[in-house]
Structure 1
Amino acid sequence: MPPPAAGAPGPVTPQTPSSCADPVSLCVVICCYTAERWDIAARGMDAVAHQLGADDRLIVVVDHNEDLRRRLQRRFDGDATPAALRADQIVIADNTFANGLSGARNAGLALATEDVVVFLDDDAVARPDALSEVRAAFADETTLSIGGGVYADWAGATPGWFPDEFGWVVGCDYRGIAADGAEIRNPIGAAMAARRAELTKIGGFDSELGRVGSVPAGCEETLMGIELRRTFPDGHILRRSAFGVDHRVPENRADLRYFLSRCRHEGQSKAVLSKLAGPSSALSAEVTFVATTLTSGVARYLGQLVRGDLAAASRLIMLLVGFAMTVFGTAVGTVTGRASITPEPATPPNDPVSVDDLVSVVIPTVGRDFLPSTVHAVLAQDHPNLEVIVVDNRPERGDARTLVAGITDARLRVVDQPHPGVSAARNAGIAAANGRVIAFTDDDAIPHVDWVTRMVQTFAADTTGTLGVVSGRVFTAESTNEIQNWFEATGMFDKGPDPTVWSMNPTAAHQALGDEGPTGVFFPYVAGQFGSGNNMAFTREALTSIGGFDERLGTGTPSRGGEDLDSFRAAILEGWTICYRPEMIVRHHHRDTMAALRAQCYGYGTGMAASLTKVLGSRHALGVLKCMPLGLWLVFSPKSSRNDIFPDAWPRHLRVIEQLGYLAGPLLYLRTHARLRSRRRCSTPSGKP
């Protein structure tokens, strides 16, 4: 369990911290990012302003929110400044460092010139004489840093299920925290202070850790404490509870979902911290916390339950669940090396896509008879700047080259990919492509003549620099028999007539591309709503950021599918925007025999399950776990609304086959994963991965 503040670390090699002049001057830094906390933040700033001495300053750092910065400037302009203070004692500044709390604190540290920097949260109000306690603590020249008393100010009643040992979940003191005056490893971030020179020497706060916006990550204070002690081992980091703040706990944090999310993020942050500082330093206090505080907490709540306090049962359960979720987060963070599940912001390209850019169209094939028709349709596009790359995924047979041998257009190239699977073939096409936009269709599809023009116009219309993927509508190329009509009626390929945009960070500018897509419980993990692999295009930057297509997924591998869903999901989780444009049309030759349709249904099940199995091994695992119960019900319950998509004539056994695919998908993914690792080991010199 990773509490934010804990007891003294072990002995270290002596060094001497620098001394500071007497009296001690203070620079109080309050970081804010949202106007939603305006009232409590204003109270906190006023409480600090009335405690500042003549040599002290308050710096309010605004984390990338121009409207909030202007509002704060208006509040503290001129006559609004407390009468006892000079105008230059309150500074409103922008975060010029990395986005997030660590970056904002570093921005405040860079502006500070005083002896000691005091960091307070924007939802914490300093108690009277809190800053006097800071001055008293740093009168001792060996004091490096202090942590204050952080007292929970619940907006409503404290939840009866909330265990006292988990006060750190809401950023407050907790049962088991070090006693007043005791040596601690690190302070709680809502109320902490450190010597400016020493904090500057260790480089401030690591932006790989800490909260970004509303995502409840942490551990940046822990790393600060560890680095201070390593650099200045004769110094002290102390708990001084009279340096107190009342920390507001809003109603949305008195919530089970927030509790679990905070535990998981703390675990993931601990995993990253372990890589930065070493597990012995990162987890030393946590081992003690589990061995003493949590163990005694179990006995404590059992005793309360025996004495008739029925709510103690829920506190006991949440004590164990919180511990388990934190351990889970640590495990996920250890595997992924990431502290947060928020998407990485998409890196805008240096130059926006223009309507004249080169487009590379990649067509993977195993040499099916439809291939020449597909190539002719792509070469007939009305976009003038085009290249076509046919990737032969069975080059030993030579069928693909034979089929297109009569097409002499210089824009056509054929490349070989002997490793089986549509993902491997697409990646070979990406490697050969020269275009700014790389589009994909299948060797049994016929794009409309304006297909490429429509996709490029969509990319060029984006003003945010985040549009990484465009998909389009898929109709049947013919309806020659009942089986093809069945499949067309399901709408599995056709996503409808409305232009739609999906983003993890939607903005008003996205509305120019289409309506905001639904973001229900399955968003963005299922990913089927974003489009299909026979009609999709990516910017080169987006493909680079997601690493191309996962060769453990897709047709030609045991998983049989899911590679297009995985690429959509990966792109949106990396911060890219996806746009579906119904006027970007491809016609597809649907399966026309029952045997082929059975294989396709089974592949849908295996591909979806395999792609979700991949997510379970990533930092996004909790998102899939949350929606899995409902997803299983939709897939397997005959009463679920998902079955409404099937026409009345749809054979029941096809649904059963798809359900069997869902059950087989995880095992098939693991099998493919093992095969790919073996292949890569064999292709690496000396046999080392």
Structure 2
Amino acid sequence: MSGDVRAYSVVICVYTEERWSDILAAVDSSRGQSLAPLETLVVVDHDEALRARLAAVFAAAEGVRVLTNAGPRGLSSGRNTGVAAARGEIVAFLDDDAVAEPDWLRHFDAAYDDERVIAVGGRTLPVWASGRRPAWFPEEFDWVVGATYRGLPEGRVRVRNVLGGNASFRRTAFDAAGGFATGIGRDGGRRPLGCEETELCIRLARAVPGAAILIDDRSVIHHKVPPARERFAYFRARAYAEGLSKALVARSVGAAKGLESERRYVTRALPAGVARGLCDAARGRPGGVGRAAAILVGVLTTACGYAVGLARSRGGTAAFSHGPAGPRERAAAVPGGGAGAA
């Protein structure tokens, strides 16, 4: 780290009291960082009972603020609310059912010594409710449960986009590109949509030529996988929703960039995964055939979702809002004006 000390705002978006203990653990892991954040912002998604309960718990906690999502229901609006209120030079995002390792922010920070770096993501490890990965569940599809998947590059490397539950951005990134698109991603509905961070990173790369987006796999969080998400039914539902989400991303930023990384993943990582599963089956290892079959089903289901998403969007008009677009909007959201680097 350089001599300059960068201030971090950690944003944790929450929406249900069912995750109460998880939320407390996430906040504790933020406050326990070896590089202490300036603040931890807990953004509640239109649940007054949860907001009041959290506000009472953290009333005397230094550096913790409980906020209400200022936009429409959904994760993107919650994140945009956190960005608008944040006072740190760097805004980091942590899932409400995840725990960050103590050096999570410190590893992020090392990358920001390079002024070209505008966003840094980390590695997310799944914590299975059953205590172990289901034998049929391929590592290539760990994105289904919000974790880092086989096929992503290792180390500290440049990528197209970070994964939203374990990511950080310079505040200037939102000045340049706006916030998370509220027409993409989870909005409280039943279908597990996503990809809002992908769309933002593509817009960001266009808005700031020469900017670098990195993943550093030393910045580790541990993300809980509840029993329902260990089931094949959820695997299929999430894969289908991912296809729908990719269609929205392609509509917003174009298919060339919207599917750039996915083409490499489908043509390289997934065939290797199928071959690995079949080899395991030939050697008598459990789950090999199941993993190979799950990859094939996952690809076909995602492709189906993408086709349906494209068909739905034909002839329609874009309905994306990109949240806070610059310091003027932030100043209106934060009493006393916006703070942080411009």
TM-score bracket relative to the smaller structure:
0.7 to 0.9
**Deviations 1:265-296 (Å, cap 9, x if unpaired)?**
00000011111000000001111001100111
Percent sequence identity over aligned pairs: 40
> Would you say the 8 A contact 1:58–1:90 is kept in 2?
yes
Find the counterpart in structure 2 of residue 36 from structure 1.
Answer: 18
Aligned match for 2:182, one of 207, 230, 233: 207
114, 124, 143: which one aligns with 1:140: 114
1:270 counterpart residue number: 246
Q: How does 1:234-245 map to 2 (within 5 A)?
A: 234-245=210-221
Matches within 5 A, 1:146-157: 146-156=120-130, 157=132
Structure 2 residue 41 is the aligned partner of structure 1 residue 59: yes
| Corresponding residue of 1:101 | 75
CA deviation string 1:324-374 (max 9, x = no partner): 000000001001139xxxxxxxxxxxxxxxxxxxxxxxxxxxxxxxxxxxx
Distance in structure 1 (CA, Å) of the matches to 2:153 and 2:302: 21
Per the alignment, residue 510 of structure 1 pairs with none
Equivalent-residue separation in structure 2 for 1:144 and 1:252 (angstroms): 36
1:222 pairs with one of 198, 203, 221? 198
Question: Aligned residue for 2:92?
Answer: 118
Letter in 2 for 1:94: T
| SS of equivalent residue, structure 2 residue 156 | coil
**Counterpart-to-counterpart distance in 1, 2:296 and 2:109:** 40
Q: Which amino acid aligns with 1:187?
A: V
Residue identity matched to 2:183: E
Residues 125-169 of structure 1 show CA distances to partners (whole Å, capped at 9, x for unaligned) of 001111111221212211110111101111113111111110000
Match in the other structure for 1:429: none
Q: Does 1:131 align with 2:113?
A: no
Q: Which of 320, 323, 339 is the equivalent residue of 2:296?
A: 320
1:298 alignment counterpart: 274
Q: Give the aligned partner of residue 531 of structure 1.
A: none
Identify which of structures 1 and 2 has the higher relative contact order when contacts are C-alpha pairs closer than 8 Å and 6+ apart. 2
Instruction: Give the partner amino acid of 2:216.
Output: R
Which shows bigger deviation, 206-215 or 104-113?
Answer: 206-215
Residue type at the aligned position of 2:253: A
**Could you say which structure has the larger radius of gyration?**
1
Which residue does 1:515 correspond to in 2?
A: none
Q: In 1, distance between residues paired with 2:186 and 2:102?
A: 28
Distance 1:294 1:242 in 2: 25
The 2-side partners of 1:57 and 1:201 are apart by: 23
Q: Is the 8 A contact 1:149 1:241 kept in 2?
A: yes
State the one-letter code of the partner of 2:150.
Answer: R
What letter matches 1:201 in structure 2?
A: A
How many equivalent residue pairs?
A: 311
Distance 1:28 1:312, change over 3 A: same
| 8 Å contact from structure 1 (residues 118, 194) kept in 2 | yes
In the TM superposition, residue 54 of structure 1 has moved relative to its aligned partner by 6.6
Q: What residue is the counterpart of 2:331 in the other structure? A: none
The structural deviation recorded for 1:179 is: 1.4
Question: How far 1:55 moved relative to its partner?
Answer: 6.5
Give the Cα–Cα distance (whole angstroms) in 2 for the partners of residues 234 and 243 of structure 1: 24
What residue ranges of structure 1 are gaps of 5+ in the alignment?
Answer: 1-19, 82-86, 339-689
**Aligned equivalents of 1:294, 1:53: Cα separation in 2:** 37
- Residue 306 of structure 2 corresponds to which residue in structure 1? 330
Alignment deviations for residues 69-98 of structure 1 (CA, whole Å, 9 cap, x no partner)? 0110111122xx2xxxxx3x2110000012
CA contact (8 A) 1:260 1:322 kept: yes
**Partners of 1:226 and 1:64 in 2: how far apart?**
29
> What CA distance in whole angstroms lies between the structure 1 residues aligned with 2:79 and 2:214?
20
Distance 1:190 1:219 in 2: 11
Q: Distance in 2 between matches of 1:319 and 1:54?
A: 40
Letter of the structure 2 residue corresponding to residue 73 of structure 1: A
Give the TM-score, by structure 2 length: 0.88
- Alpha carbons of structure 1 residues 21 and 117: separation in structure 2 relative to 1, 3 Å: farther
What amino acid does structure 1 have at the position aligned with 2:291?
R
Look up the match of 1:493.
Answer: none
User: 2: CA distance between counterparts of 1:159 and 1:270?
Assistant: 26
On the 8 A contact 1:109/1:200 being kept in 2, the answer is no
> For 1:251 and 1:264, how far apart are their aligned partners in 2?
19
| TM-score normalized by the length of structure 1 | 0.44
Q: Partner of 1:71 in structure 2?
A: 53
- Distance in 2 of aligned mates of 1:289 and 1:263: 14
Aligned position for 2:169: 194
Deviation per residue, 1:178-223 (Å, 9 max, x gap) = 2111111111111000001222321110001111225310010101
Q: CA deviation at 1:298?
A: 1.5
CA contact (8 A) 2:34 2:106 kept: no
**Cα shift at 1:310:** 4.4
Q: Distance in 2 between matches of 1:240 and 1:310?
A: 32
The 1:185–1:21 alpha-carbon spacing in structure 2 relative to 1, beyond 3 Å, is farther
Query: Which secondary structure state, in structure 2, belongs to the residue aligned with residue 225 of structure 1?
Result: helix
Deviation at 1:232, TM superposition (A): 1.2
1:477-530, Cα deviation, whole Å (9 max, x unpaired): xxxxxxxxxxxxxxxxxxxxxxxxxxxxxxxxxxxxxxxxxxxxxxxxxxxxxx
Contact 1:59 1:91 in 2 (8 A): yes
